[in-house]
């Protein structure tokens, strides 16, 4: 592959893997059937990191179309490497801040599954305002999720786990699949990220959440 002019010495990713915003930015949702070449259920991962989970879950579910939203370009490129290596036709990326892209990118009720695995916990007191799981973000997820759709989240940070429960359960649009105030100690196929494997090796406790969009 030829060098990427934005990343010296690195390869150029295929143009259709990292979607580029139209002039003026994302103001209306893309035609996802045109992006993926078919009309399938849409699953979105926020913060895919190096793309290990993205590649695994997309390979395990070829019936779903996967979009990952990643803030850092270098990580987008790492994800593209995984997608290309696995020869996946059902995975794409968008570079940018997820908290400001959910509403512009997705029409109401258009997403079936969300994955938010190990979001940055911003552990210091003054940093907590930067956490992605805040009421406006959860409202945006609710608006764009189809009835019965699911939001999967995981964190090793106990304080953040409490915030996730509080915000989702206060929203009113979500039902906690594990019961009010509860989470699971196992994530099944809906985890298996680089962070998860590292934290489990260190003996850290991980909390897994599953919230279902009410009709």
pLDDT, tens only, 13-45: 777 899 999 999 999 999 999 999 999 999 999
What percent of the chain clears pLDDT 90, i.e. is strictly above it? 79
Query: Any idea which residues carry the catalytic annotation?
Result: 120
Mean pLDDT score, 42-68: 96
Name the residue among 151, 140, 131 with its Cα closest to residue 101: 140
Residues in a beta bridge with 65: 42
Looking at residue 1, what is its pLDDT? 38
Confidence of residue 2 (pLDDT cuts 50, 70, 90): very low
| Mean pLDDT over each residue of the chain, to the nearest integer | 91
What percent of the chain clears pLDDT 70, i.e. is strictly above it? 90
Q: What is the pLDDT of residues 122-160, one digit of tens each?
A: 998 888 999 999 999 999 999 999 999 999 999 999 999
Q: What is the pLDDT of residues 153-188, one digit of tens each?
A: 999 999 999 999 999 999 999 999 999 999 999 876
Query: What are the C-alpha distances in Å from 140 to residues 38, 68, 115, 124?
Result: 25, 16, 14, 26
pLDDT over 80 at 194, yes or no: no
| List of residues 6+ apart from 72 with CB closer than 8 A | 95
Q: Which CATH number is correct for 3-19+28-213, 3.90.1150.10, 3.40.50.2000, 3.40.50.150, 3.10.180.10? A: 3.40.50.150
């Amino acid at each position: 592959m030829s060098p990427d002019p934005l990343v010296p010495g690195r390869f150029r990713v295929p143009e259709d893997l990292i979607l580029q915003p139209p002039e003026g930015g994302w103001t209306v949702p893309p035609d996802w059937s045109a992006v993926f070449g078919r009309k399938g259920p849409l699953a979105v991962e926020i913060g895919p990191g190096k793309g290990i989970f993205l590649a695994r879950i997309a390979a395990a579910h070829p019936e779903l179309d996967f979009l990952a939203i990643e803030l850092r370009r270098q990580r987008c490129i790492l994800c593209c490497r995984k997608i290309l290596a696995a020869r996946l036709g059902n995975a794409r990326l968008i570079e940018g801040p997820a908290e400001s892209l959910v509403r512009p990118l997705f029409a109401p009720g258009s997403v079936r599954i969300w994955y938010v695995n190990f979001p940055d916990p911003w552990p210091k007191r003054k940093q907590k305002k930067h956490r992605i799981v805040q009421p406006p973000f959860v409202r945006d997820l609710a608006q764009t999720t189809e009835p019965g759709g699911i939001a999967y989240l995981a964190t090793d940070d106990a304080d953040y786990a409490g915030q996730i429960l509080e915000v989702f359960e206060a929203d009113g649009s979500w039902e906690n699949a594990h019961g009010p105030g509860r989470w699971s100690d196992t994530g099944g196929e809906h985890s298996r990220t680089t962070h998860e494997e590292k934290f489990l090796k260190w003996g850290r406790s991980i909390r897994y959440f599953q919230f279902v969009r009410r009709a």
